[in-house]
Structure 1
Amino acid sequence: MDDKGEKCKEVRDILVNNKLHTAEGEKDSDEASCSADNNSTSKSLNSSFHDDLSDDENICRSPQKSPVKKIQPARVESALPSDEDFQFKKPKFRKKKFIFHPFVRNSEGVCVPDQDREPVEVTIPEQLAASYGLYIWPSAPVLAWYIWLNQDQFVGKRIIELGAGTALPGLLAAKLGADKVILTDSLRLSHCIQNCEEGVQLNSLSEKVTVQPLTWGRFTSSTLKLRDSIDFVIGSDLFFDPEVFEPLIVTVSWLLDNNPGAKFVCSVQERAADWSIESLLLRWNLLCSVQQPKNFLKGTGINEADLTGNHQIFLLHIWKK
């Protein structure tokens, strides 16, 4: 190769090398820019979670500081329950007071205040605990209002309340002039029995109200003594589980059989459209009628929803054929 050819080759090699260096420089510059942008974005996001991360990132990006600190992710507090969440906590006890103002119905059937009589107050012991019988469910005030608005039917009568729990309807009936009231609940629910006894003491009704255990579907010597001693059987929200339907109906049937002329009045919260007691009523020779709260609240100025809320609650009247 002559000198001219060798010079051409040297020039070509120099141009190619310069082009490669230029491309690599641009690539390095782009990567550095991209890395800087990513680091900036990461810093902005992480700072919104944990301010302590900003110093770590500055150390990581600074070539003057060594060694490089590893960035720790932001800590998120665990939502898992601790041992304290599983420790038994004593239920909160509180007293709830219900005040019923006297009324008279005018010629149009509208209730107007009766200024000649004092309001009737019922104090109910209630515990905010995971137990059905210690809490005032919406059905109880519905039945209590029925008794209040139809109090003439219960004056001088002998009444037994099944599954009483907090016993609002039974205690109200006693204050309205019932001759005798028996509050009952399951023998296995001693805390409910004690709650009933507490309610009797709070309302000073020990002279006319007694408390005794009564388990549905089972008959003890104390249950057998209830023959010819009852005019009304009452209860609120007793049909809360299909498993108790038959034992409850058996008990109601026995009480009505052994107390001729007695009736069963119960407030019911509908929990499932396919729950039914029709076959049990037929089996035990019982008749039934349904009454909506709006019917007995007519003329009071009380809206049905004020008592029932978003629940479907109605009254069942049951008697023997």
Structure 2
Amino acid sequence: MQAEKFYTKKFRFYDKKTQNELIVVIPEVLDPNYGFYVWPCAPVLAQYVWFFREEIKGKHILELSAGTALPGIVAAKCNAASVTLSEHILTPNCLKHCVNCCANNGLENVSVIGITWGLFSPELLNLPPVDVILASDCFYDSKDFDDIFVTLSFIFEKNDKCEFWCTYQIRSTDKSIAYLLERWNFTCDHIPLESFEANGPSVAESNFPGNHTIEMLKISRKKT
């Protein structure tokens, strides 16, 4: 069997005011599985985490469908109290790749667990407290949208002040989560990309998102 060939992609997050920078290097594999390479949404979400790193400091972070885990790795590097990365429970290679991406950036204290949308697995049921949920491009296939909100709703029930930070690539005007937000009693704020320096074609010097249209969303429970 031919050995997998890894490539690396470097991301440089830079604060013009303080001149602080963060370098993250992600190993990628040319594999048909979605979780082995960085998608255009991930650098945008990671830039949001970097830009608002003071909000991340000391918080408990969960990244869902992490893949190469760029946003979660940035959160860990920005002094989050804890970071948990998750991938589909039936994709052990993706889970292993999450571990490899963390190790490649000197992170040994990041938990990697299996969570599948809509499935009440022991890993989901026994989640520690969560302050912020991260996900990049989770709203990809509309058949998964209901399951995504089932999982989110369960986590929010246990963590009522939790926020869900996600990026979404617009591929079709026919796809919308507005009705699901209403059904599950969530509210959504659209965050302008220019407000966190992510409105260019090459966020974190990555050549992503290129010409793709990305939206940044912050989702929380409606206040009663």
Please give the TM-score of this superposition, normalised by the length of structure 1.
0.64
**Cα shift at 1:181:** 0.2
- In 2 relative to 1, CA 282–303 (structure 1 residues): closer, same or farther, beyond 3 Å? closer
**Range that drifts further, 119-128 or 147-156:** 119-128
Q: Which residue number corresponds to residue 206 of structure 2?
A: none
Q: Give aligned pairs, total.
A: 217
**Range that drifts further, 173-182 or 125-134:** 125-134
- In the TM superposition, what whole-angstrom CA distance separates every residue of 1:50-105 from its partner, at most 9, and x where no partner exists? xxxxxxxxxxxxxxxxxxxxxxxxxxxxxxxxxxxxxx86543122222223x3xx
Which protein has the bigger strand share?
Answer: 2
- In the aligned structure 1, how far is the partner of 2:191 from the partner of 2:29? 30
**Cα shift at 1:278:** 1.4
**Percent of paired sites with the same residue:** 39
Q: Which residue number corresponds to residue 96 of structure 1?
A: 9
Q: Contact 2:61 / 2:133 at 8 angstroms: preserved in 1?
A: yes
- In the aligned structure 1, how far is the partner of 2:145 from the partner of 2:185? 15
- 1:221 is aligned, of 122, 137, 142, to 122
- In the TM superposition, what whole-angstrom CA distance separates every residue of 1:4-24 from its partner, at most 9, and x where no partner exists? xxxxxxxxxxxxxxxxxxxxx
Q: Which residue number corresponds to residue 150 of structure 1?
A: 52
1:207-286 correspondence to structure 2 within 5 Å: 207=109, 209-226=110-127, 229-286=129-186
- In the aligned structure 2, how far is the partner of 1:310 from the partner of 1:278? 25
- 2:69 is aligned, of 167, 185, 189, to 167
Q: Which residue number corresponds to residue 200 of structure 2?
A: 304
* Counterpart amino acid of residue 123 in structure 2: S
Q: Give structure 2 stretches of 5+ with no counterpart.
A: 204-208
- 1:132 is aligned, of 13, 34, 42, to 34
- In the TM superposition, what whole-angstrom CA distance separates every residue of 1:145-190 from its partner, at most 9, and x where no partner exists? 1111111110010000000000000001001100100000001222
Please give the TM-score of this superposition, normalised by the length of structure 2.
0.91
- In 2 relative to 1, CA 96–306 (structure 1 residues): closer, same or farther, beyond 3 Å? closer
Q: Which residue number corresponds to residue 193 of structure 1?
A: 95
- In the aligned structure 1, how far is the partner of 2:130 from the partner of 2:212? 31
- In the aligned structure 1, how far is the partner of 2:3 from the partner of 2:138? 26
- In the TM superposition, what whole-angstrom CA distance separates every residue of 1:191-244 from its partner, at most 9, and x where no partner exists? 21010011121122112x1100000100112211125x1000001011111011
- In the aligned structure 2, how far is the partner of 1:219 from the partner of 1:251? 8
* Counterpart amino acid of residue 17 in structure 2: V
- In the aligned structure 1, how far is the partner of 2:202 from the partner of 2:28? 20
- In the aligned structure 2, how far is the partner of 1:204 from the partner of 1:113? 24
Matched, 1:177 2:79: yes
Partner of 1:305, secondary structure, is coil
**Cα shift at 1:303:** 4.9
Partner of 2:127, secondary structure, is coil
Partner of 2:201, secondary structure, is helix
Query: Which structure has the higher relative contact order (CA within 8 Å, separation 6+)?
Result: 2
Q: CA RMSD in A?
A: 1.7
Q: Give structure 1 stretches of 5+ with no counterpart.
A: 1-87, 104-110
Partner of 2:45, secondary structure, is helix
- In the aligned structure 1, how far is the partner of 2:199 from the partner of 2:113? 35
Q: Which residue number corresponds to residue 112 of structure 1?
A: 17
